[in-house]
Amino acid sequence: MSQYHDEIALKRTKLAFIWTRILNTPFWALFMMLKFILCKDLHATELQVTVFIILGPLVSILSVYWSSTIIERRDRLLSNVILANILKHTPFLLFPFVDNPWFFVFAAAVFTMFHRSSVPAWMEILKLNLPKHSREQIFSNGTSISFLGDGIFCFVLGWLLDGYHESWRWIFPVTALISVLSVYFQTRIPIMLDSKEIAKEKISFKDQAIAPWKSAWQLVQLRPDFVNFQIGFMVLGGGGLMIMQPALPTFFMGTLQLSYKELAIALTLCKGIGCALTSSSWAKWINKVDIYRFSSLVTIIGCLFPLCLVASQFHLAWLYLAYGVYGVMQAGSELGWNMSGPIFSKEEESSAFSSCNVLLVGLRGAIFPALGGALVVIFNPSAVILFGGFFCFLATFKLLRESKKAETLSVVARL
C-alpha cells in the first residue's frame, strides 16, 4: 500500500509541477515585460518605476507570513499553493479597465508576494513526494520547459505588442486565467498527513507576527553554514543583480531604444535557450559538488552578464548574448535557491530554511534596488550595471572560500 501511494504521489506531483510551469509560461513571458510597458505605454514616472522594482523583492517579507503557516503543518501545503496561485493572478483580470500606473505596480507586488510565498510549500511537497535522486532533475525539467515556452511566446508577444496598441491589456487577463488552470493538477497531489501535525494548538496574533522572524533567527544561530551561504549567494550575488534592475529600463528604452520585439527576443528567447541548454547539466552537477561551489559558478557567470550588456551599445548581438548568459545563470540560480532548503535541512523539514530564503529576498529588496535607483541618478546606467557585476564577483570569492572550509571540515571529520 505504501509503495503504491509512493508511486501515485511521485506521478501526480511530477505532473502537477510540470503543468504548473507550462500553463504559467504565457503569463510569465508577458509579466517580464511589465516594467517596460510601464515606461513606454503608461508613461510611468521614475518614482513609479523605482517603486515597482523595489516592491518586487520587498514584499517577500510579507510572503513569509503566508508561508509560515505551513511549518510542521502538512495539511496546509496544498491549500497554500492553490490559494496563492489564484490570488496572485486576480489583479491582472482588471488590466483592461485601469489606467493608473500605481495599480499596475500594486498588481506586480501582489503577484510577486504570492509567487514567493508558495515556494516553501512547493519545496516541501517535492521533498515529501519525490525521491532525492530525481528531485533536482524534475525541478530543472520544469524550469527548462518554462523557459523554452517563454522563447516560443516571445515572437507572438513582440508582434502583438508592437502591432496592436495596448494589446497587453487583454493578453494579461487571458494568460492569467490560463495559469490558474494548473489548480486542477495541484488538487490531485496526495499528501500523507500526520494527526499530530493537524492537532496544533492555536497561537495568538502576536506570536504569529513574530513567528517567521523568530524561526529565521533560531536558524541563523544554529546553522552558520547556512548563514554563510546566504551572505555569498543571496546578499552579494543576488544583491548585485538587484542593483542593476533600476538601470535597465533607462538603458533599454533610452540608450538602446529597443522595440518590444527586440526586448522579447532578449528577455525570453535568448534567456530560454541558455536555460534549456544547461538546466540538465546544473541538475547533475548539484549532486556532485557542495552547494557553495555550485553557487560560485552561478555568481561568476553573473559577472559576465553586465559585461555583455554594456557591450550591446556597440552591437545588438551582445544584448542577445547577455541574456543567453543570463539564462545559463538563472537555470543554476533557480535550482540552487529553491533546493538549498532541502539540501541544508537534510532529514529535517525544509520549510523553515526555504522561508528564511524568502525572508532574505525581502530584506535584500529593501536595500539594493533603492541603492541602484540612487546610483542611476548620480551615474549613467552602464556604470550602475557594471557595479552590480562587481558584487557578483565578490559573491564568487566568498562562496569559493566557504567551499574550501567545508571541504576541510569534511576531511577532518573522516579522520
Question: What is the rounded CA–CA span in Å between residue 414 and residue 65?
Answer: 41
C-alpha cell read off for 304: 559576465
Q: Report residue 209's pLDDT band, with 50, 70 and 90 as the boundaries.
A: low
Where is average pLDDT lowest: 18-32, 204-218, 328-342, 359-373? Answer: 204-218
Residues 6+ apart with CB under 8 A from 259: 158, 162
Residue 386 has pLDDT above 90, yes or no: yes
pLDDT digits (tens, 9 = 90+) for 33-51: 887 788 778 888 777 877 8
Residues 338-359 pLDDT 10s:
788 878 877 777 777 877 877 7
Q: Helices (H) and strands (E) in the chain — how many of each?
A: 22, 0
Mean pLDDT of the 381-410 span: 89
Side-chain half-sphere of 211: how many Cα atoms within 13 Å? 22
pLDDT at 126: 82
pTM higher than 0.75:
no
Q: What percent of the chain has pLDDT over 70?
A: 88
pLDDT of 203 above 60: no
pLDDT at 240: 92
The string of DSSP letters for 96-108 reads GG---HHHHHHHH
d(CA 324, CA 329): 9
Q: How much is the pLDDT for 156? A: 73
Q: What is the mean pLDDT of the chain?
A: 82
Q: Is the predicted pLDDT of residue 52 greater than 70, yes or no? A: yes
Return the amino acid letter for 355: S
Phi and psi angles of residue 166, each rounded to the nearest 5 degrees, phi first: 55, 35
Q: 74-88, 151-165, 284-298: lowest mean pLDDT where?
A: 151-165
Residue-wise pLDDT for 160-173, tens only, equals: 777 777 888 999 99
Using CA atoms, how far residue 220 sits from 91, 112, 121, 228, 234, in Å, is: 36, 25, 21, 10, 14
Cα separation, 280 vs 300, whole angstroms: 19
Amino acid 267: pLDDT: 73
Cα 389 from chain centre: 19
Determine contact, residues 336/206, Cβ cutoff 8 Å. Answer: no
Long-range contacts of 280-283 (CB under 8 A, 24+ apart): 280/137, 280/140, 280/141, 280/144, 282/140, 282/331, 282/332, 282/335, 283/136, 283/137, 283/139, 283/140, 283/335
* 103/336 Cα distance (integer angstroms): 33
Distance CA 83, CA 110 (A): 13
Among 129, 119, 120, 137, smallest CA distance to 286 is for 137
In this structure, the number of other CB atoms found within 10 A of the CB of residue 10 comes to 16
User: What mean pLDDT do residues 91-104 have?
Assistant: 91
Q: What are the C-alpha distances in Å from 375 to residues 31, 35, 50?
A: 25, 19, 12
Inter-CA distances, 241 with 80, 99, 274, 329, 384, Å: 29, 30, 17, 11, 10
List the one residue out of 398, 396, 399, 134 whose CA is nearest residue 290: 399
Protein fold of 2-189+209-414: Growth Hormone; Chain: A; (1.20.1250)
Domains of the chain, by residue range, sit at 2-189+209-414
- How distant is the alpha carbon of residue 173 from its chain centre? 22
For residue 48, which amino acid is it? Q
Of 301, 304, 312, the C-alpha closest to 252 is 312
Rounded to an integer, the average pLDDT of 125-135 is 77
Amino acid in position 314: F
Task: pLDDT band for 413, please (50, 70, 90 cuts).
Answer: low
